[in-house]
Amino acid sequence: MESLCEAACALQLLERRGAARYGLGPLGAALLGNPGIAAMVRHHAALYADLGDPLALLRGHDRERRLAHYWPYALDHGGQSLTRDDVAPYTELMAASQPMIADVVLSAYPLTGHRCLLDVGGGDGSFLSAAARAAPQLQLQLFDLPEVAAIARERLAKAGLAGRTTISPGSFYDDPLPSGADVISLIRVVHDHDDDAVAHLFAKVRAALPADGILLLGEPMRDAAGGSDGVSAYFEIYLRAMGQGRPRSANRLRELLNVAGFSQVRVLRTRIPLIASVIVAKS
Ligand SMILES: C[S@@+](CC[C@H](N)C(=O)[O-])C[C@H]1O[C@@H](n2cnc3c(N)ncnc32)[C@H](O)[C@@H]1O
């Protein structure tokens, strides 16, 4: 017990409170207070299993990667074969970790002054629920793979938001995005996909927006304002295990946005760049 406690002190999970007495340290308190962090730590079992053969992981030869099965849209882009059991674990993980993301993104771009928000790859609707609380005037739309959209329909109804929300099931690889929103968000979506898919997605977002509509992009970026190297250390390896996607710099995202026809592209500073930086682009 003493060895465990001393090791945990070194990680600031615990701290010494006297002879043979320990209490929660600053990082331990954060872990206990934020169930999303514990859920993230637990799902890393899949990443550590894939790291068991690091060369296969880096060469991209291992089709049996556990993390690719955890995120099954990495194996089935259209999502047609995915069941509720396939999508439920990652959708729960995203919901558990979404409050801290929403807090960071909505502090940087509060969505006041917009009429209707479409959240593409919106998961169970947690980001939309937070946006609805922060901006009570907003109408809400969500687009995600069919089995995830079904979960969002239930969650948003439970949250009393059914009357404000339209849900569109589909794949952004194959289907058009619904129109009608003056702001479209992509939260922790783009880094999961390769450049061709992202270029295609940005073009679809632009086509769905009115003139002067806004794309709100929130995800970890390699060198965004105040960005940290931790983004590369984690996501370069993580996304290789998943089998697709890249952490991109804000400049690379700006290039892809310009090619899709977005003109004014602004990078906004956030409090915790390791979990999300923000880009706002005008159509
Ligand atoms: C990493 S999760 C992020 C979820 C949510 N935006 C959040 O931050 O909590 C990526 C989301 O994109 C969705 N997604 C992946 N591929 C998709 C596709 N082809 N069409 C629509 N949604 C897709 C997934 O189902 C998932 O909900």
What confidence score (pLDDT) does residue 162 get?
96
In order along the chain (283 residues), what is the average pLDDT of each group of 10 residues?
96 94 96 92 95 89 84 89 96 95 96 96 98 97 98 98 97 96 98 97 98 96 71 91 93 97 93 90 95
Fold exhibited by the domain 35-282: Rossmann fold (3.40.50)
Structure tokens at 127: 């980001």
Within 13 Å and on the Cβ side, how many CA atoms surround 255?
Answer: 6
What confidence score (pLDDT) does residue 227 get?
54
Contact (Cβ atoms closer than 8 angstroms) between residue 258 and residue 269: no
**For ligand 1, which residues put their CB under 6 angstroms from it?**
73, 77, 79, 94, 98, 101, 121-123, 126-127, 144-145, 148, 171-173, 187-189, 192
For 113, residues 6+ apart whose C-beta sits below 8 A from its C-beta are none
Tokens 């990443």 locate to 47
Nearest to 217 by CA among 243, 193, 241: 193
Q: What angle do CA 68, 190, 176 make, to 5 degrees?
A: 100
pTM, two decimal places: 0.94
Nearest to 189 by CA among 238, 245, 255: 245
Structure tokens at 197: 């898919």
What confidence score (pLDDT) does residue 62 get?
67
For residue 79, the CA-to-ligand 1 centroid distance in Å is 11
Contact (Cβ atoms closer than 8 angstroms) between residue 280 and residue 268: yes
119 Cα nearest atom in ligand 1? 6
Query: Which residue of 94, 140, 168 sits with most ligand 1 atoms within 8 Å of its CB, as the best mutation to test the pocket?
Result: 94
189 Cα nearest atom in ligand 1? 10
Q: What are the extents of the domains in the chain?
A: 1-33, 35-282
For residue 247, the CA-to-ligand 1 centroid distance in Å is 16
For residue 12, the CA-to-ligand 1 centroid distance in Å is 33
Nearest CA to ligand 1 atom 19: 171
Bridge partners of 144, per DSSP, are: 169
